[in-house]
Structure 1
Amino acid sequence: MNRMTRPSAWERETLGCLPLLAALDLDTVAAMLELAIVRSAGPRQMLFREGDPADTLFCVLSGYVRTFHLSPQGREVDLLIHEPGDVIGSSVCLDRQTYCANAQATESVKVAQFNLQRVRELAARKPDLALALASSLSGQFASSLAMLADDRLHTAPQRVAHYLKKQCPQGARNVSFRLPYQKNLLAGQLGLAPEALSRAFSYLRRHGVSVRGRLVQVNDPEVLQSI
């Protein structure tokens, strides 16, 4: 599946609420909406590959998109999992000629895509758009640094425990929730091999965590904070 359409009224409203557009002046939002094309992609479909000409900026409307590097030996290293509202490609908005990573739909996804040259031209006239793009890039850079620090400072059980704690409402007990994506993607997001994630889940059983498929039960989220 790879269908492209002009955004519907509902999709235009959704786009206007996304972080990239929500802070813009109304006329800048209108100009961006005129550039928008909505694209539907199926599970594991590539949006772009590392080294492809960088000609499109993406915003996730629904579903999840993973960005990753591929080594010459074929090993995949996950960078980020992009959620609804996230921008993909802000790092190429300045002067990069090619994409510096691969982007793949993790499931059926819907993204808004914008011609990058047109976005650059608009940003040159609209400082609010230039600032919003810079803010998006800064946020992704901060997320990457946080992930790097997490890799260096915490064990696998600690990384998983902290992730699960963040999914629980503050002060709640006996929390049940569904992982937003498959475990192999969660492992990549946390910088773990799938088998290391499985071992971490096994370790956390003694701390009141049970996992069945993508369903998670946490007896006392505060216990996870001390792991």
Structure 2
Amino acid sequence: MSDMDRRIGALRRHAATGSAVFLSEEPTDLNAGADFLQRLRPEEIAELRAAGAPRAIAAGASLFRQGDTHAGIWLIERGTVRTFYVSPTGREITLALWTPGHFVGGPEVFGGGSHVWSADVHDDAEVLYLTGARIRMLAETMPRFAICLIEGLVAKGKCYSALVQMLGTRSVTERLAQLLIIFADTSGRREGNRLVIERKLTHDQLAAIVGATRQWVTMTLDKFQKRGLISVSRQCLVVENYDLLSAEVRV
């Protein structure tokens, strides 16, 4: 079995809802935490839903802004939510794209303190909003939910640790190559030895994730294309040689 087949196979169980995306050395860990509520019984899920407020939110809308006071969390049931940080100079970096099963709004889930990053809706989403007071009440009266909450926060911590490790130890070229591998693993459609990435990606979006400029991303993608690693068109991006692209990260 090739490296491509092994890694993609490990992610297929998340195909129905789509995997979260962030910079990580191990794409198979991307969706850790998506099932953090799985230990709850049906009646406990019903109690959880009764405590929350379901909301449908259109793409582009903000859930919270950097500096806002923590007020609660949003459980993602459909769509994608992006978390991002804006530096004092105005430079923006995308931290992650979160998909169904994940939540955003931590780490101060009981409320208080200030958000250190922002979240907006990347694709039209349906979320369940739980205030900090409701979360505290559920944690105090439902032990299984309290354990779920801790496990969810642990998973988040690991996600952001993986991101920091990539940003701190990998060159921007390696980060871009790894990001393309991640998108190929999570949303690639197999065509022979090629993987057609079925997620619409702009150079601005790629730049915001790897911490580069749009111009640099365009130039580097062109270099990858000339070497036969990928092909780029207005419609899609295709990984032509998965193993050679992966080798860009293993150097």
Q: Distance in 1 between matches of 2:95 and 2:112?
A: 18
Cα gap change, 1:44/1:140 in structure 2, threshold over 3 Å: closer, same or farther? Answer: same
Give the one of 117, 120, 140 matched to 2:156. 140
Partner SS, residue 101 of structure 2: coil
Cross-structure match for 2:5:
none
Deviates more, 1:68-77 or 1:139-148: 68-77
Cross-structure match for 1:173:
193
Q: Distance in 2 between matches of 1:50 and 1:88?
A: 13
Cross-structure match for 1:4:
none
String of CA shifts for 1:187-226, please: whole Å, max 9, x gaps: 2222333223222211211133012246121222111121
The 5 A counterparts of 1:150-189 are 150-166=166-182, 167-168=184-185, 173-179=193-199, 181-189=201-209
The letter of the residue matching 1:192 is A
Give the one of 199, 216, 220 matched to 1:200. 220
Superposed displacement of residue 33, structure 1: 1.3
String of CA shifts for 1:126-176, please: whole Å, max 9, x gaps: 22211211222121221112112112222233222222223247x972121
Contact 2:200 2:236 (8 Å CA) reproduced: no
Contact 1:62 1:109 (8 Å CA) reproduced: yes
The question of 1:216 aligning with 2:237 is answered yes
In structure 2, stretches of 5+ residues that fail to align are 1-16, 18-33
The 5 A counterparts of 1:3-152 are 19-94=35-110, 96-152=112-168
The letter of the residue matching 2:242 is P
Partner SS, residue 150 of structure 2: helix
Superposed displacement of residue 41, structure 1: 2.1
Please provide the CA RMSD for this pair.
Answer: 2.6
The letter of the residue matching 2:205 is L
Aligned residues: 211
| TM-score (normalizing by structure 2) | 0.73
